[in-house]
Amino acid sequence: VKYCGVECQRNHRPQHKRVCKKRAAELRDELLFKQPENIHFGDCPICFIAIPTGTDEAGKLNTAAYHPCCSKMICNGCIYASRLQKIETCPFCRTQYPSNDDEASEMMNKRVAANDPYAIRVVLAAKCWKEGNFRESFNHTKQAAKLGDMEAHQQLGHMYLQGEGVEEDIDKAIYHWEEAAIGGHPIARMSLGVIEGENDMHERQVKHFIIAANQGWGAAIEQLMGCYEEGHVSKDVFEEALRAYQRAVDATKSPQRDAAKQNPDLLNVRSLSHS
């Protein structure tokens, strides 16, 4: 609604408030349920192939690594190809890898000073968390989220849900998960799907799981199987989600990445972060 002036808005807004609120929710849903082009890691800047969603048992990304020299997330395939040629520099910017832990820490601290959201989260927020200073960890994570780090939004959702470093607030938890999901974070998307299911909003639940499946997130297929068994999703829709999941996984494959899986020792570089 557009008003011709302040007085006009003051006189007529009460008549439009409910309609405006409804429309704002509709626009939010259009954004929320739009399929992201990629997961929040994006494409590798060297091979331009989407970075896979794989994580290890500790929940850390094991398919790519952050390089503090150039602030790039580079896939394991490109790291492997570079290391195979015994190149001791960053595959992207050609900066020399640090020779000891002090040099590696100095490199990360420079990224913190430059307001790099990833570095703020994995250095400052993580340090405070390990020290038990949850409030400061929350503050640093919030700073990283404001700077555009989707993983920070994902973590803020859990902090608000559990009341870690901040007062419990489910609405704020959902907000940050939505922000992360819009930015392509499949785990945040899964959290939203679970909440919608708990609230018997199964149509919205299924939408979230399908989007995550389209991103190549395997857990989404498991959840959709449960939805199918409970009658919340048709066989045709479930089968299409399976095909979409496989297409997404196949789109992230390359010979170099397959070789990297077989030779993980070549990926061990002191300055790299897989957090």
pLDDT at 153 over 90: yes
Lowest mean pLDDT among 14-18, 77-81, 214-218: 14-18
pTM for the whole thing? 0.89
Sign for the pseudo-dihedral over CA of 92, 122, 270, 59: negative
For the segment 79-132, what is each residue's pLDDT rounded down to a tens digit? 999 999 988 899 999 999 888 889 889 999 999 999 999 999 999 999 999 999
Segment among 12-26, 105-119, 221-235 with least mean pLDDT: 12-26
- Please tell me which of 1-10, 94-103, 259-268 the model is most confident about, judged by mean pLDDT: 94-103
Report the pLDDT value the prediction gives residue 59, as an integer from 0 to 100. 54
Confidence of residue 71 (pLDDT cuts 50, 70, 90): very high
